[in-house]
Amino acid sequence: MELVSKTKPPVVEETFLQSVLSKRIKSTDKIKQNEYLLKIDNTNKFSKGNISGWIGLAKSKKTFALTMFVSALVGCLRLFAKFNANSKNDVLYIDTEQSPADVQRVTKRVKSIVGKEEGLFMYGLRPLSPKQRIQAIELLLKEHNGIDVLVVDGVRDLLMDINNAVESTEVMTLLMKWSFDYDIHIATVLHQNKADGNSRGHIGTELNNKAETIIRITKDAVDGNISYVEEVFGRGKGFEKFSFQISDDGLPEVIESISNSVSVDKAPWEK
């Protein structure tokens, strides 16, 4: 009696082999180099096909820091001479935590800084389950095909258990796949542990290992209106730690630029 093979059929195996062989990278290959979308100061930090992590304790103003990042990208701005976009970019922004009213406030802040909402696609997925959020993001990436940046403000909410190694690896693998398949940069937001300051859960460990850069936001111990932005992990040259505050209009502003009376530069097409 002939035993039934438990291995993959030869045709399937051969097809997969050819796919794997096609991924060989030689020194003579003409490969597209990293396309950086934005500099902090004069340092390129965010490229397509890569992931960044924005971490901080609760209420450290992570979303405000991200607002400056997104505004510079959407408006092609030199924002406070700190967030300096290399080009105009379309951003798909996914918020998993806040209410619709709070998500709209973020949209309004970006519009106030840039002057328009064009190029920003904001969605609030708080009512959905982790699995539904992943499905929704996949659909939105297809719907907004051609975007340059995906922001996931609350990557923890794509998992049921942030300490589950298998689930964390699956989600991080999916993020890397999206960044590659859609040729986009993915900016993720994750809380820190209060005890040790590390990114929360196994997903935090995965993010630290896979991200192009990890940006930490911390609140000033004395003045709660002031927060600091620093790079804690990163490839290549880093940037100097800087601070920002929230203006009377409710908008984030880099403090150094305020003291020098530097305002937001206009986009190239507005000059």
- What's the whole-model pTM score? 0.86
pLDDT digits (tens, 9 = 90+) for 112-140: 999 999 999 999 999 999 999 999 999 99
- The secondary structure of the chain in percent helix, strand, coil, rounded to multiples of 5, reads 35, 25, 40
For the chain, the first-to-last Cα distance in angstroms comes to 81
Q: pLDDT at position 267, please?
A: 36
pLDDT along the chain (271 residues), means of 10: 55 84 84 89 94 93 96 96 95 97 97 96 98 98 97 96 94 97 97 71 89 94 92 86 94 69 35 35
Please check whether residue 2 lies inside any domain of the structure: no
Q: pLDDT at position 261, please?
A: 31
Q: pLDDT at position 11, please?
A: 73
Residue whose tokens read 């298998």:
166
Please check whether residue 145 lies inside any domain of the structure: yes
Cα dist from 229 to 197, 208, 216, whole Å: 15, 17, 6
Q: pLDDT at position 7, please?
A: 58
Rg from Cα positions in the chain: 20
Please check whether residue 135 lies inside any domain of the structure: yes
Q: pLDDT at position 196, please?
A: 61
Q: Which of 51, 57, 80, 55 is nearest to 66 (CA)?
A: 55
SS (H, E, C) 99-160: CHHHHHHHHHHHHHHHCCCCCEEEEECCCCCHHHHHHHHHHHHHHCCCCCEEEEECHHHHCC
Q: pLDDT at position 8, please?
A: 57
Please check whether residue 20 lies inside any domain of the structure: no
Q: Which of 150, 161, 255, 253 is nearest to 200 (CA)?
A: 161
Q: pLDDT at position 270, please?
A: 36
Give me 155's structure tokens. 């990557």
Q: What is the CATH number of the domain that holds 103?
A: 3.40.50.300
The total number of structural domains in the chain stands at: 1
For the chain, counts of helices (H) and of strands (E):
7, 13
Give the domain range for residue 180: 34-270
Please check whether residue 185 lies inside any domain of the structure: yes
Rounded distance between C-alpha atoms, residue 112 and residue 71, angstroms: 9
Please check whether residue 7 lies inside any domain of the structure: no
What residues does 185 pair with on adjacent strands? 149
The string over 201-221, giving b where at least 16 C-beta atoms fall within 10 Å of a residue's C-beta and e elsewhere, is bbbbbbbbebbbbbbbbbbee
Phi/psi of residue 45, nearest 5 degrees = -135, -20
pLDDT digits (tens, 9 = 90+) for 220-259: 999 989 999 999 988 878 899 999 999 999 999 999 633 3
